[in-house]
Amino acid sequence: MIMQTSLLDSLANKVGASAVQQKSWELLSEIGLPQKKSESYKYTPITAILQKNINWELEHDFSVEHEFFYKEEGSHLVFSNGVFQKESSKIKSDLSIQFGEVSEGKHDPFSLLNQSLAPGELVITAGTKFPVFVYHFNSAGIANPRIKVKVEDGASIRLYEKLISSRQVNTFTNSYVEYEVGRNAFAYHTKVQNYHENVYSHETVVADVQSDSHFYNNTYSFDAALIRNNLVINLDGENCEGHMYGVFILDKNVHVDNNTSVDHLKPHSYSNELYKGILDEKSTGVFNGKIYVRQDAQKTNAFQSNNNILLSDEATIHTKPQLEIWADDVKCSHGCTSGQLDEDAIFYLRARGINEKSAKAMILNAFAVETMQHIGAKTVEEEVKSYIQQKLS
């Protein structure tokens, strides 16, 4: 308890003045940040790790470089240490955005932390025909970027997130992105996490989805000190779909925790989840996938699968599917596999003249690529592919 008090205490001077922010800080102070016994952070003792590695007061000069922008036509939005930078952004005329006061969001500890400390909230209203790229340029001990995406009835949006940080400072990014997806609407959220080794991040994506709408989330994780991804999808309508895809290819001491939850609240909805992990050296992967099917949610189809390949004896994967089903007429399946690289498959390729290195890369690449069908923007897809190639060669 002492440690927790001190962490929140050392951040108290950063809490925003508005009523919403004051109130969320009070709430957070009551529930506290996750501690050792916290079930959902069991394998990721993030509070202690942050305490040890982050200097909250540090801030380093770091300029926004447009070279990091994806070479794609669309709106390119820049955050610097959690503050939206209109001047550095390139905004298409058909995109409606507004950076203003923080509004109420979810109430888990890190969402509350973001809500308390965020310097503002960027509201994006879908309706643009171009993709939206968001770049977080971080060089401070802590940054709390906050985005709300309103996808109105019939609208659609593709949003891509990327974090670029200063090498000089250990940074903690606690981002929060919330989607309100109306009826018959589509939203695609994609992030590529190939960070410096002094980057710690807790990234929350929440989507509330109404009838006849689809929400896709793609997460590709490669490098960082520690990443925790919280993904929460509430399918609060009939005939809606939630898609969750992810790859994590880790080495060194990298720690990536994917915590996902999809809640089927109404009948006839569908969810599909596929996460693939390849772990080398002393890396750690965590996958926790929750599926809830409420009593009203008859005729739900929910599928989940997490497959992992361990390339080293010192790598670790914790994988835990969790299904809670109250309805009686549903189709749900889940499966987790963890194993080594298939030696028979490697021998088969080598016996045809392919050298060992290419054989391994071919198999691992094929394993990972399955999750990449919904990215959309070609340059992002190419980037993910090239990171996969780099990691596997």
Partner 1 sequence: MLEVKNLHASIEDKAILKGLDLNVNAGEVHAIMGPNGSGKSTLASVLAGREEYEVSDGSIVYQGEDLLELAPEERAQKGIFLAFQYPVEIPGVSTTNFLKTALNQVREARGEKPLDAVNFLKLMKEKMKLVEIDQSLLSRSLNEGFSGGEKKRNEIFQMAMLEPTLSILDETDSGLDIDALKIVADGVNKLKSEKTATIVVTHYQRLLDYIVPDYVHVLYKGRIVKSGDKSLALELEEKGYDWIKSELAEA
37: left (phi over 0), alpha (psi -120 to 50) or beta: alpha
Q: Which of 4, 20, 349, 376 binds partner 1 (CB under 8 A)?
A: 349
User: Rounded to the nearest whole angstrom, what is the least distance from the CB of residue 281 to partner 1 in the complex?
Assistant: 23
Residue 237 CA to residue 264 CA, distance in Å, equals 8
- Give the chain's largest Cα–Cα span: 68
User: Rounded to the nearest whole angstrom, what is the least distance from the CB of residue 367 to partner 1 in the complex?
Assistant: 6
344 binds partner 1 (CB under 8 A): yes
What is the DSSP code (8-state) at residue 140?
B
The window from 49-57, 174-182, 345-353, 378-386 that contacts partner 1 (CB under 8 A) reads 345-353
Residue 360 CA to residue 222 CA, distance in Å, equals 18
356 binds partner 1 (CB under 8 A): yes
358 binds partner 1 (CB under 8 A): yes
Q: Which of 363, 377, 380, 384 binds partner 1 (CB under 8 A)?
A: 363
Q: Which one, 19 or 351, has the nearer CB to partner 1?
A: 351
User: Rounded to the nearest whole angstrom, what is the least distance from the CB of residue 378 to partner 1 in the complex?
Assistant: 20
Q: Which one, 206 or 384, has the nearer CB to partner 1?
A: 384
Q: How many CB atoms lie within 10 A of CB 150?
A: 18
Q: Do the Cβ atoms of 325 and 293 come closer than 8 Å?
A: yes
Choose among 40, 47, 42, 46: nearest CA to 5: 47
How far separated are the first and last CA of the chain, in Å rounded?
A: 45
Phi–psi pair at 20, nearest 5 degrees: -60, -45
197 binds partner 1 (CB under 8 A): no
Choose among 315, 172, 180, 280: nearest CA to 237: 180
Phi–psi pair at 360, nearest 5 degrees: -60, -45
Q: Do the Cβ atoms of 376 and 188 come closer than 8 Å?
A: yes
User: Rounded to the nearest whole angstrom, what is the least distance from the CB of residue 271 to partner 1 in the complex?
Assistant: 22
Number of residues that bind partner 1 (CB under 8 A): 22
User: Rounded to the nearest whole angstrom, what is the least distance from the CB of residue 371 to partner 1 in the complex?
Assistant: 11
User: Rounded to the nearest whole angstrom, what is the least distance from the CB of residue 351 to partner 1 in the complex?
Assistant: 5
Residue 73, classed as helix, strand or coil, is coil
Choose among 171, 230, 233, 165: nearest CA to 203: 230
The window from 65-73, 126-134, 166-174, 350-358 that contacts partner 1 (CB under 8 A) reads 350-358
The window from 132-140, 202-210, 364-372, 378-386 that contacts partner 1 (CB under 8 A) reads 364-372
366 binds partner 1 (CB under 8 A): yes
Q: Which helix (H) or strand (E) holds 389?
A: helix 378-392
Q: Which helix (H) or strand (E) holds 308?
A: strand 301-310
Residue type, 307: N
User: Rounded to the nearest whole angstrom, what is the least distance from the CB of residue 219 to partner 1 in the complex?
Assistant: 19
Q: Mark residues 101-140: x for contact with partner 1 by CB under 8 A, - for none.
A: ----------------------------------------
User: Rounded to the nearest whole angstrom, what is the least distance from the CB of residue 203 to partner 1 in the complex?
Assistant: 28
Scan residues 304-343 and list those touching partner 1 (CB under 8 A).
Answer: 342
345 binds partner 1 (CB under 8 A): yes
Residue 273 CA to residue 186 CA, distance in Å, equals 17
The window from 37-45, 85-93, 114-122, 356-364 that contacts partner 1 (CB under 8 A) reads 356-364
Q: Which of 86, 326, 347, 390 binds partner 1 (CB under 8 A)?
A: 347
Binding site for partner 1 (CB under 8 A): 342, 344-345, 347-356, 358-359, 362-363, 365-367, 369-370
